[in-house]
Chain A
């Protein structure tokens, strides 16, 4: 490998852009969090007062809890669905794989803002298609105000999140399965292993790396997603779909308390970095 100082010149454009628009703001956000702000104008230095406010801010803890639930739901549903679908597709013909793979991935190409609008209609209490559909099959009693009642709002929203994510899982898992040596499966077949046994004893363990990658990806997205909630419920009803990013957005834009918004941002950043550090440690283990 070539040792050269001109490597820095190669790094310069992307590093400069990255440090100026990502690195620097992160440092500044740390700085902001030690000051009092009024309507977007900086006031006096208040030390850790913004941080101690976190302890008594019930909305913060609710939001954090919701992010946590979102992580678990994402790991439980789209990841698992992606794994199963990929395992099924693995021994289908190439055209089926290509087309179904594309179909599953289509929701991921739709901007989350638009996905939120579409699903907002599906869930709408007065003309929503979900309620119409349930009535049509005689299950009208199950209909409800999906995004509008505390008991179902977060879960209903997660169905939308999963909609945009499971296709991505399918594609990642498929690529990984296709790189597994077919001889392993053939040997198992000769031993008379069922589809299920092969899935459990071969596919799942061999895809550990992809699962960790997707798990990390899902967990980070679950901590930082915003668009979907903002266009559908704005965190409501009440605080039922409040997440860290909506709390930051409201504190920042609607209340103009940049100091506390910065504090929340720092907390979000620390959580995300901690999750990543944990996952990387796991990834390194053989």
Chain B
């Protein structure tokens, strides 16, 4: 009685899947176990789109069914690692982060190479940049889906009310912040209790002080973190904190709380990514605006941080039937028709979607605006740190960044701590290079 085992009780499948089971009764049923993060609220809240697409894509599965488990976005990263170490890797998973962490799983043989499927289905929408981020030693291990971008969400009503124009240069941005401060309005809602949000901010600042090329010489070459451009980014971040750009006590404010602060009209801006478009669009009581942070250092091209949110990956242990079914399913999920569903029902823009397509589809104005601006600089967009450095470095980055932005360490101390962790990771063979 008490020791009942209910091992597989994942959340219910969509009705369509159940129907297809009925049509093809148990002909050596192929079941694809799927873990994803498409919840109904929070980060990556594209639940309704996922629900619909499971039904839509059922016919493509050739009789196989999908057994779905929703893992919250923050938790899936840890659960997946445990599953891999316990040799219980789910057949198909939509997890983050990519690149360095994905490479780690490929390195230990947990993931199936997908090159044959890339060839078979011709996933052209996934460009060289993203193929690089899903590759390890010449093979492809993931199919990235969400096109992540960073930008500055702003409250146009507050800007207008206070006679402040949307900044087009960094100097104008600083002036806007000072103007809001003078009016007693929090300029930028920022909360870093969850430890990761500051990493995104630093990623953005690095790209706008060092630029993509210099970043690559550090992340994939031999340049140390302690270089002048990186130092400028770190110092800029610290000076924002010191000069009251953020609410007091930001290291004790949650990511969601910071977003709520912005959505309640108490802060003029918040700097984050497209991954909360769903919550932003639903939560805002005003018309949202977004602009790209202008370059900070002279001679750096405009651009923004690019990521893939998460990627579909397939277990190395899955049977051939399951792998084939999973690939067919992925192919359906990223087809043009499905991309439209992701955009319209999930406010999630899949990689390869063009601003022109968004214009035609029933996308929210904020979605169109964000992607039109973010996709305009494809050659200069730059890296997201905590999906690009290995996990051991990420843990140091989180803590050291909290200290540096909180004023407990200098930019130099921060960068030299990063160099130590970085060197260790390289020595351990953990570094990912596209």
- Contact surface of A with B, Cβ cutoff 8 Å: 38-41, 59, 123-127, 144-150, 233-239, 242, 250, 253-258
Contact = CB atoms under 8 A, between A and B. Distances in A.
Contacts, number: 104
A148 B402 CA distance: 9
B58 interface: no
Contacts of A234: 194-195
A69 B411 CA distance: 29
Given A148-B253, A238-B406, 7 more contacts: A40-B86, A145-B248, A148-B406, A149-B406, A150-B406, A237-B402, A238-B402
A136 B108 CA distance: 57
Given A39-B84, A40-B85, A124 B252 contact: yes
A26 B395 CA distance: 26
Contacts of B252: 123-125, 145-149, 237
A127 B249 CA distance: 11
Given A38-B104, A39-B108, A125 B402 contact: no
Task: Give the top 5 A-B pairs by smallest Cβ distance, nearest first.
Answer: A40-B85, A125-B249, A145-B249, A148-B252, A238-B403
Contact of B104 (A144, A147, A238, A256): A256
B409 interface: yes
Interface in B194-227: 194-195
Contacts of A146: 252
A284 B408 CA distance: 46
Nearest to A258: B85
B255 to A, nearest CB: 13
B400 interface: yes
B87 to A, nearest CB: 9
The winner among A126, A149, A254 for most chain B CB atoms within 10 A is A126
B392 A255 contact: yes
B253 A150 contact: no
A235 B399 CA distance: 9
Interface string B54-80: 000000000000000000000000100
Given A40-B85, A234-B195, A253-B82, A144 B392 contact: no
12 contacts: A39-B85, A39-B107, A125-B253, A126-B247, A145-B249, A145-B250, A145-B251, A147-B193, A148-B249, A148-B251, A149-B252, A255-B391
A254 B251 contact: no
B11 to A, nearest CB: 23
Nearest to A38: B108
A250 B395 contact: yes
A237 B406 contact: yes
A237 B251 contact: yes
B105 interface: yes
Given A41-B108, A125-B248, A236 B84 contact: no
A40 B409 CA distance: 32
Contacts of B398: 236
Interface string B246-262: 01111111000100010
Interface in B378-393: 391-392
B110 interface: yes
B270 to A, nearest CB: 14
Interface in B397-419: 398-400, 402-403, 406, 408-409
B399 A40 contact: no
B257 A253 contact: no
Nearest to B247: A126
The winner among A145, A147, A239 for most chain B CB atoms within 10 A is A145
B399 A256 contact: no
Contacts of B402: 236-238
Contacts of A242: 399
Contacts of B257: 124, 126-127
A59 B391 CA distance: 16
Contacts of A254: 78, 81, 391, 394-395
Nearest to A53: B424
B85 A256 contact: yes
Contacts of B195: 234, 236
Contacts of B391: 254-256
Contacts of B104: 38-39, 256
Contacts of A236: 193, 195, 251, 398-399, 402
Given A126-B247, A236-B251, A255 B395 contact: yes
Contacts of A38: 104, 107-108
Contacts of B108: 38-41
Nearest to A235: B399
Given A126-B249, A234-B195, A238-B406, A253 B392 contact: no
A28 to B, nearest CB: 14
A253 B81 contact: yes
B403 A237 contact: yes
Given A40-B82, A124-B253, A234-B195, A239 B110 contact: no
A162 B395 CA distance: 29
Nearest to A131: B249
The winner among A125, A238, A239, A258 for most chain B CB atoms within 10 A is A238
Contacts of A237: 251-252, 402-403, 406, 408
Interface in B230-265: 247-253, 257, 261
Contacts of B107: 38-39
B398 to A, nearest CB: 8
A124 B406 CA distance: 16
B409 A238 contact: yes
Contacts of B406: 148-150, 237-238
Nearest to B417: A58
The winner among B108, B251, B261, B391 for most chain A CB atoms within 10 A is B251
The winner among B85, B107, B110, B400 for most chain A CB atoms within 10 A is B85
A51 to B, nearest CB: 17
A72 B65 CA distance: 57
A75 B261 CA distance: 40
A126 B261 contact: yes
A273 B250 CA distance: 40
Interface in B246-295: 247-253, 257, 261
Interface string B86-106: 100000000000000000110
